[in-house]
C-alpha cells in the first residue's frame, strides 16, 4: 500500500500532476475544481498548508513507491472534536481497495494523532464506489443531502474504537 503523508510544500508538483491527470475522472463523480484552481495551484497549495498549520484542516497525500501521488485524503473543518472527511483516488489506482484502506487508516490518525472523536462525510447517490467505501469503513448513513445539485447521503463515523487506551503510544 502507498504511504499516507501529511501534506508538505514539496508535494506541490506531484499533487498538481495528480489533479491534472485525473481531472476528467474526478469530475464524473465530484464537482470539478475549475480552471482557476489549476491556474493558481501554487497559491492554493500555500493556503492549504496555512490552514493545516492553524489546525483547521489536515491534508494528506497517498504516495506510491515511485513517489507518485495516487490519492488524497483530507480532514477539513476541524472543530468540536469532529471533521469532514474527503478523499480522491487516481483512476489508475482505483478498484483495488486503496480508498477503503486509506479511510480506515485516516480514522486511526484522526483519533490518535489529531484527537478527533467523530468524522462526517457525504457521497452522491450516483457514486456507488464512494458510498461502499464509507460503509465498509464503519460510516453510517445519517441523512440525505445535496452535493453540487445532485442527491446524496450524509454519513457519520464515531472514532471511539480507534482511541488508544491511556498510556498507549499514539499513531
* Domain segments of the chain as ranges: 3-116
pLDDT band (50, 70, 90) for residue 110? very high
Q: Across all residues in the chain, what is the average pLDDT?
A: 91
The position carrying cell 484527537 is: 115
Q: What is the DSSP letter of 56?
A: S
pLDDT band (50, 70, 90) for residue 89? very high
pLDDT band (50, 70, 90) for residue 38? very high
Strand, helix or coil at 161?
A: helix
8 A C-beta contact, residue 34 and residue 102: no
CA–CA distance, 167 with 78 (Å, rounded to integer): 25
SS3 content of the chain, % helix, strand, coil (to 5): 40, 30, 30
User: Is a pLDDT exceeding 90 seen at residue 170?
Assistant: no
User: Is a pLDDT exceeding 90 seen at residue 167?
Assistant: no
* CATH for the stretch 3-116: 3.40.630.30
User: Is a pLDDT exceeding 70 seen at residue 171?
Assistant: no
Q: In the predicted model, what is the mean pLDDT of residues 66-95?
A: 95
Amino acid at each position: 500500500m502507498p504511504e499516507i503523508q501529511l501534506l508538505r510544500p514539496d508535494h506541490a508538483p506531484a499533487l498538481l500532476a495528480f489533479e491534472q491527470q485525473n481531472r476528467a475522472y474526478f469530475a464524473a463523480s465530484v464537482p470539478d475544481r475549475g480552471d482557476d484552481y489549476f491556474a493558481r495551484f501554487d497559491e492554493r497549495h500555500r493556503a492549504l498548508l496555512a490552514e493545516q498549520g492553524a489546525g483547521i484542516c489536515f491534508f494528506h497525500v497517498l504516495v506510491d513507491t515511485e513517489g507518485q501521488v495516487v490519492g488524497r485524503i483530507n480532514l477539513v473543518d476541524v472543530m468540536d472534536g469532529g471533521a469532514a472527511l474527503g478523499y480522491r483516488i487516481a483512476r489508475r489506482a482505483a478498484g483495488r481497495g486503496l480508498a477503503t484502506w486509506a479511510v480506515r487508516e485516516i480514522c486511526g490518525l484522526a483519533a490518535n494523532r489529531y484527537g478527533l472523536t467523530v468524522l462526517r462525510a457525504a457521497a452522491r447517490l450516483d457514486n456507488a464506489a464512494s458510498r461502499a467505501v464509507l460503509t465498509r469503513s464503519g460510516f453510517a448513513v445519517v441523512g440525505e443531502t445535496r452535493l453540487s445539485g445532485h442527491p446524496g447521503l450524509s454519513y457519520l463515523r464515531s472514532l471511539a474504537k480507534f482511541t488508544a487506551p491511556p498510556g498507549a503510544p499514539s499513531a
